Structure 1
Amino acid sequence: MPELPEVEVTRLSFADRIAGARIQEVRLGKPLRWPLGVLPQELEGRTVQRVRRRGKYLLLDLDDGVLLLHLGMSGSVVFAEDVPEPGAHDHFDLVTTRGVLRLNDPRRFGAVVYATREDAGEAAKLLGSLGVEPLGDAFDEAAFHSALRKRRAPVKQVLLAGDVVVGVGNIYASEALFLAGIRPTLSASRLSRPRARKLHAAIRDVLARAVQKGGSTLRDFSNANGESGYFQLEAMVYGRAGQPCRTCGTVIRGIRQGQRATFYCPSCQKP
């Protein structure tokens, strides 16, 4: 699944190019996870003012309303002046004066949703429960520790839940916990202030480096220019079960937590 870095990399790859574009046509393919919420022709003539990100959602601010775009489990977007005829997995085309923004999603767990405002209707339902942005100034160390202390679940599960801090998905939760030296099975409520501070810094560091590397391409992720990411090449634990730790040489372990794969070093990460 595209995680926060992949969504941010996608945003950066087309945001400047689509800003100021006027919508000429909206073409829909097979139904996605949620309905568009407006007749496609009603979007014609509106202007894309900017592209933002909230968690794993791309937000296209229009001169009247906002489009929320989610990549789902395996989706990707391309933005180009010329695109071929839609294929079987191309489910949304936003045709503008500066190019076509196309969502390709083989599994159809993604979505494009229109709302009159970010805090209204379906947008409020989708965004209202999201936690603080980890790369923003609002991600406060003390508040983070306080929120963790209220959770008895394993710390990795708390990170994945997205209501304490948003967008720290499976890959980057594993990597941040390694960098902070914290065992993923440790109850979040047991984290001391110093260990929470290390995890706070590790989350910011891992996500920022992932954005710089273009995200992670494990299967088919690419940005809006068709470019792959390379963060996975320097992963310390994710996907490395049975291999030696890059730091101490101990064999990396792989377990299941909440139906998700977790990887950690039993020597470097303390319970």
Structure 2
Amino acid sequence: MPELPEVETTRRRLLPLLEGKRLLEVRHQDPLRYRHTERARERAVEGVGRRGKFLLLALSGGLEMVVHLGMTGGFRLEKTPHTRAEFLLEDGVLHFHDPRRFGRIWVVERGAYGEIPLLARLGPEPLSPEFRPEAFLQGLRRSRKPLKALLLDQTLAAGVGNIYADEALFRAGLSPFRLGREVSEAEALRLFQALREVLAEAVALGGSTLSDRTYQQPDGLPGGFQKRHAVYGRAGLPCPRCGAPIAKGVVAGRGTHHCPWCQR
């Protein structure tokens, strides 16, 4: 699933394509997944934002289009066999591509997220000034969940998913199986800093494109951060620090990669 770096990269690529343009129509044949899109007809796109893993398109008239890419969703400049919706603009067409059909679109009153409860409860953006180490430590200490599950929860830090949780925990030298309430202040600070570093690097490199190539930027280019993965997707391969084989377990129902030696 596209995480913060992939969604932020998509936002930056969409900005010159959408901002200030008039959206003539959103065409699709799936009103259950793409809700109230008729309200966007003939609206101007006033801004392209992001919150966690959601894209937020500010529309004229006080409306907002919320887009969640799901597992395989993304925008393309050209039509594909998996185009599910078409954004007709005054100067062209933008295609919403989604092979597995988990992507969702809503058009709502700006900020009215009653239909999207996850968006309403997101925690702070981890690359913003609102993401503070004191609150992060308190959130960890209050929980009996494993660290990996806490990072995936979206209330401590919005937009973090499987890839970047594994990579941040490795950089911090913390086991994904450790309980949040067990970490020291120094360990929490290491994880806080590692999370910010990993996400910032991934954004700078356009996110991670894995072997299935489901994530691509709108112009078809892949991300580049996958070349820096230390543990994610590397089960059985040597740890870049100590050489021990990377292990794969399960936390919160998600495949979890770690070094059993460096992250004891």
Q: With structure 2 as the length reference, what TM-score do the two structures score?
A: 0.94
1:47 corresponds to which of 30, 33, 44: 44
AA in 2 matched with 1:261? G
Give the CA deviation at 1:7.
0.5
The 5 A counterparts of 1:62-211 are 62-64=59-61, 65-78=63-76, 80=77, 83-84=78-79, 87=81, 89-123=82-116, 125-211=117-203
Asked if 2 retains the 8 angstrom alpha-carbon contact of 1:29 and 1:90, the reply is: no
AA in 1 matched with 2:101? R
AA in 1 matched with 2:10? T
Number of paired residues?
261
Residue of structure 1 equivalent to 2:219 = 225
- Runs of 5+ consecutive residues of structure 1 not aligned to the other structure: none
CA distance in 2, matches of 1:178, 1:194: 15
Percent of aligned pairs with the same amino acid: 43
Residue of structure 2 equivalent to 1:237 = 231
- SS of aligned partner of 2:115: helix
Give the CA deviation at 1:127.
1.4
1:254 corresponds to which of 239, 248, 251: 248
What is the CA deviation profile of residues 20-71 of structure 1, one whole-angstrom value per residue up to 9, with x for unaligned ones?
A: 0011122013455x34125x2x422210011000000000001120000111
- Runs of 5+ consecutive residues of structure 2 not aligned to the other structure: none
CA distance in 2, matches of 1:150, 1:104: 40
- SS of aligned partner of 2:43: coil
CA distance in 2, matches of 1:245, 1:210: 20
Report the RMSD for the aligned CA atoms in angstroms: 1.5
After alignment, is 92-101 or 182-191 more displaced? 92-101
Asked if 1 retains the 8 angstrom alpha-carbon contact of 2:25 and 2:41, the reply is: yes
CA distance in 1, matches of 2:231, 2:9: 22
CA distance in 2, matches of 1:171, 1:137: 23
CA gap 1:201/1:72 in 2 versus in 1, 3 angstroms: same
AA in 2 matched with 1:25? E
CA distance in 2, matches of 1:190, 1:4: 27
- SS of aligned partner of 1:73: coil
- SS of aligned partner of 1:249: coil
Runs of 4+ deviating beyond 4 Å: none
Residue of structure 2 equivalent to 1:5 = 5
Q: With structure 1 as the length reference, what TM-score do the two structures score?
A: 0.92
What is the CA deviation profile of residues 94-135 of structure 1, one whole-angstrom value per residue up to 9, with x for unaligned ones?
A: 111233222111111111100011135425x34111111111
- SS of aligned partner of 2:72: coil
Give the CA deviation at 1:247.
1.0
Asked if 2 retains the 8 angstrom alpha-carbon contact of 1:31 and 1:91, the reply is: no
Residue of structure 2 equivalent to 1:29 = 29
Asked if 1 retains the 8 angstrom alpha-carbon contact of 2:235 and 2:246, the reply is: yes
CA gap 1:153/1:164 in 2 versus in 1, 3 angstroms: same
Asked if 1 retains the 8 angstrom alpha-carbon contact of 2:176 and 2:251, the reply is: no
- SS of aligned partner of 2:134: helix
- SS of aligned partner of 1:122: coil
CA distance in 2, matches of 1:136, 1:68: 21
Residue of structure 2 equivalent to 1:18 = 18
AA in 2 matched with 1:98? D
